[in-house]
Every structure is written in structure tokens, then in C-alpha cells.
Amino acid sequence: MKKILIMAGLAVGLFALVAASYDAFLEMGEKTVPSSQCNKCHKAIYADWAKDFHSKAFVNDPFKKASNAYSRQECLACHTAQEIAQEDALKLRPVHKEEGVNCTTCHLRNNMIYGPYKLVAKHKSEQDESMLKSAFCSGCHMPTYQEWQASGSQKQCQECHMPRAEGKLVTVFPLSALAPKRMVGQHLQMSEGLIKGAATITGQKGTGSVTISLTNTGAGHTMPTGKYGDYRMVLTTKVLDSGGQEVVSKEEVFSSQKDNGVPFNKTVKYSYPIPPGVGKDYKVKATLAYQVSGRPDMLVASWNAE
Ligand code: HEC
Ligand code: HEC
Ligand code: HEC
Ligand code: HEC
Ligand code: HEC
């Protein structure tokens, strides 16, 4: 009896969802729907996006300041873009600007919702396999895209920034009960795991000097990358003598604004002199920190030697 009731409830719920028309989702310009509409069914993807910096592209403090409190129109065309386009053809979305780069920016074009699959959704949709390729990101990320092309990386942007895992596209009952399992791309583009896999540090202790090597092992572009933001990797090396006194303290700053980052698969080396008298009996602690203003620093890699 209970089972029958559940089945009946499911059928009614499904009917309501099937019966509704979702053609309003295909409207653009002033009528573009907000991402909260997509959240009614794609809850897990929405939750990722809500933590992702694309959803902060308009509201974040660095952007608010640098765009003179949103008065520079040329910045808005990208930070709150209506749709994917090449850099010079980007146009701003006139509504829901606070959502920055939102669901409709990446998925809605020509009054159609595009996805990587060929599915029958509640709303109209068409397949666009280019969504799985780096070129899809290039209109807004051209400098990084060019670094990626030159890097020889075998992975597309999406393979690192939107890794796929088994899940459901629709995570809201009752639709979720019928939705098959598929591969779903993570919509949180900068995860802690990704940053921690960016680089490795090794070193060599000598009598008169210590050498530190830093390799970009995980970022398929210059590390750090970016044209507009101020992203930094800071390599700090400290040497302590046998008595625990700090005898060397050095810092190398790699910054997207200075354009002095480390290319993919490349190693940079630094040799620091050890003061005479310290001998070979010293400790080294080298760390690499990821720094973006307004966010907590993150430890990427370290190398310690006794
Ligand atoms: C419509 C333009 C647009 C498109 C398309 C786009 N991005 Fe972005 N992306 C931005 C903007 C603007 C920011 C800056 C967000 C902010 O203010 O922090 C950004 C930031 C990022 C960041 C850095 C987040 C951070 O830590 O600050 C990553 C990583 C990223 N994008 C990856 C991608 C990838 C991968 C693709 C393609 C699948 C893509 N983006 C497509 C505009 C875009
Ligand atoms: C920066 C661009 C970007 C934004 C913003 C974005 N998506 Fe996506 N989306 C993609 C890309 C690229 C793929 C293909 C990823 C894959 O399958 O590996 C994708 C895939 C999907 C899929 C198909 C499942 C999958 O992962 O292949 C759904 C459904 C989806 N997105 C919904 C949304 C919703 C809902 C939002 C807003 C909460 C959103 N997307 C925001 C770029 C974006
Ligand atoms: C009423 C529920 C519902 C809402 C609301 C909804 N979707 Fe969907 N969507 C679906 C279903 C169902 C599928 C197909 C799921 C499956 O077969 O795994 C789908 C599939 C998709 C796909 C993949 C299409 C493909 O063939 O690759 C994308 C992209 C997508 N939706 C984007 C969006 C966006 C953007 C919004 C908001 C404007 C949105 N959806 C709102 C139910 C919904
Ligand atoms: C091999 C994996 C990999 C590929 C491929 C890749 N990235 Fe990254 N990306 C990373 C890692 C790791 C970081 C964090 C380290 C760093 O700062 O460079 C990062 C950082 C970023 C950032 C934030 C700025 C920064 O340097 O911290 C942006 C923006 C970005 N990637 C965009 C892209 C775009 C666009 C593509 C494709 C053209 C792409 N990435 C391809 C791994 C990758
Ligand atoms: C073609 C697209 C595009 C245009 C136009 C653009 N940006 Fe951005 N912006 C990005 C992308 C992509 C990122 C993240 C990676 C990077 O810096 O390349 C970003 C990041 C930023 C950040 C860092 C945000 C953070 O989280 O720290 C600031 C600040 C910023 N942009 C300001 C501006 C200003 C000011 C303008 C106008 C003069 C502008 N942007 C124009 C694409 C764009």
C-alpha cells in the first residue's frame, strides 16, 4: 500500500514537472533567467558554482575597486557576460549582474541551452561538444589559453579545472529518481586539491650554499597565470644553524602581474650562500605559498632538510 502511494506521488510530481513549459529559460537580454531557476533541478552543480569564483566575478572586492565601482563598461562585458564569445565580441548581460559569470553565460546562446551531451532535458537543449575543449574558455581567458597552447599539456582546461565524476545532473526529487548516472563535471574550478598538486620543491645542501629547485608539475600554463587578477606563488627559504639561529631568509615572488611565473614542466633553481662558519650542519625549510589578496594563503609544497 505504502509503495503504491509513493509511486502515485512520484507520478503526480513528474507530471507537474513535465507539464510545465521551460521555454522561458531560452530568453536572453532583459529576460535572461537567473541561476536560481537552474538550481531548482541542478542543485549539486549550482552548489559548486556558488562557491566558484565565476559566481563572484562581479561582486568580489578587487573587481569592484578596479572597475571604479562598476563604471568601466569594458570590464563588465566579460565579468558579467551574456554569452560565450571571442574577447572583442563579449557583451554584458543586462540583468542579474551580481551573478557574474553564471549558468546562462556558459550554457545559453542563440536562445538555446547547450550541453556536452545529447540529452532529452525538461527544457530544450542541444549538444555542443566544444564545451569539453580548452577553446571554449579562450574568449575570456586568452592569455592563459595561449600559455596552455605553448605548454604542451595533454589535458584540456576542463580536465584539470572541471574533473568529471559519476553523479546525476538533476539532484532534486522526484526527477532525480529517474535520472540515470552520468559523468558530471565539477563546477568548482579552483579546488584545494588542484592547487596542492601544482608544484614540487626539492633541494640540495652544500657547504657554501643551498640550492632550491621549484617545478611546475601540475599547472598546464604559466604558474601563476592570469592577465587581470593578482595571483602569486611565493617561495620562502629559511636556513637555521645548529644552534637554531636563522642565518638565511629568502623570498622569491612569482606574480601574474609581473609576468614572471614558471612555465609548465619547467624548473627554476635558486642558490643561496650559507654564511661562513655555519658549515654543513644546518636545517633548511623551503615552502611555496599560493597568495591571492583577500583570500587565505595556501601551502602548495615544501622541502625540509636536516
Ligand atoms: C564569460 C567569460 C568566462 C568564461 C567563458 C570562462 N571564464 Fe573563467 N573566469 C572569468 C572571470 C571574469 C574570472 C575572474 C573571477 C573573479 O573575479 O575572481 C574567471 C576566473 C577563473 C578562474 C580563477 C578562479 C580564481 O581562483 O580566481 C579559473 C580557474 C577559471 N576562470 C577557469 C575557467 C575555465 C576552465 C573555463 C572554461 C571551461 C572558464 N574559466 C571560462 C571569466 C570566464
Ligand atoms: C564557466 C562556464 C560554466 C558555468 C558558469 C557553468 N557551466 Fe555548466 N558546464 C560547463 C562546461 C565546460 C561543461 C562540460 C563539463 C564536462 O562535462 O566535463 C558543463 C556541463 C554542465 C552540465 C552537464 C553535465 C556535465 O557536467 O557535463 C550541466 C547540467 C550544467 N553544466 C549546468 C550548469 C548550471 C546549472 C550552472 C549554474 C549553476 C552552470 N552549469 C554553470 C561550463 C559552465
Ligand atoms: C525542471 C528541471 C530543470 C531545470 C529547472 C533546469 N534543468 Fe537542465 N536539465 C534537466 C534535465 C532532466 C536534464 C537531463 C538530465 C539527464 O538526462 O541526465 C537537463 C540537462 C541539462 C543540460 C545538459 C544538456 C546536454 O545535452 O548536455 C544542461 C547544460 C542544462 N540542463 C542546463 C540548465 C540550465 C542552464 C538551467 C537554468 C537556466 C537548467 N538546466 C534548468 C532539468 C532541468
Ligand atoms: C594540467 C592541469 C591544468 C590545465 C590543463 C589548466 N590548468 Fe589552470 N590551473 C591549474 C593549477 C594547478 C592551478 C593553480 C596553480 C597556479 O596558480 O598556476 C591553475 C590556476 C588557474 C587559474 C588561476 C590563476 C592562477 O594562476 O592561480 C586560472 C585563471 C586558470 N588556471 C585557467 C586555466 C585555463 C583557462 C586553462 C585552459 C586554457 C587551464 N587553466 C588549464 C591546472 C591546470
Ligand atoms: C576578456 C574578459 C575580461 C575582461 C574584458 C576583464 N576581465 Fe577581469 N578577469 C578576467 C579573468 C579571466 C580573470 C581571472 C584570470 C585572469 O586574471 O586572467 C579576471 C580577474 C580579474 C580580477 C581579480 C579578481 C580576484 O578574484 O582577485 C580583477 C580585479 C579584474 N579581473 C578586474 C578587471 C577590470 C578592472 C577590468 C576592466 C578594465 C577587467 N577585469 C576586464 C576576465 C576579464
Nearest atom in ligand 1 to 63's CA = 17
Count the neighbouring beta carbons within 10 Å of the beta carbon of residue 110. 9
Residue 157: closest CA among 215, 94, 213, 225:
225
pLDDT per position as a tens digit, 207-261: 899 999 999 999 999 999 999 999 999 999 999 999 999 999 999 999 999 999 9
Count the neighbouring beta carbons within 10 Å of the beta carbon of residue 137. 21
Average pLDDT over residues 174-181: 92
Residue nearest to atom 19 of ligand 3 (CA): 121
Contacts of 209 (CB under 8 A, 6+ apart): 271, 272, 273, 274
**Ligand in closest contact with the CA of 198:** 4
Amino acid at 268: V
Residue nearest to atom 23 of ligand 5 (CA): 229
Residue 33: closest CA among 117, 104, 83, 113:
104
Q: Which domains does the chain have, with CATH numbers?
A: 16-190 (no CATH), 193-305 (2.60.40.10)
- With cell 558554482, the residue in question is 49
Answer yes or no: is the C-beta of 160 below 6 A from any ligand 3 atom: no
Distance (angstroms) between ligand 5 centre and the Cα of 176 equals: 37
pLDDT per position as a tens digit, 191-215: 999 999 999 999 999 989 999 999 9
Average pLDDT over residues 277-297: 95
pLDDT per position as a tens digit, 108-120: 999 999 999 999 9
Residue 116, CA distances (Å) to 22, 83, 145, 241 in order? 20, 16, 20, 57
- With cell 601551502, the residue in question is 299
Is 130's pLDDT higher than 80? yes
Local confidence band at 4 (pLDDT 50, 70, 90 cut-offs)? low
Distance (angstroms) between ligand 4 centre and the Cα of 108 equals: 24
Q: Beta strand pairing status for 209-216 and 231-240? A: unpaired
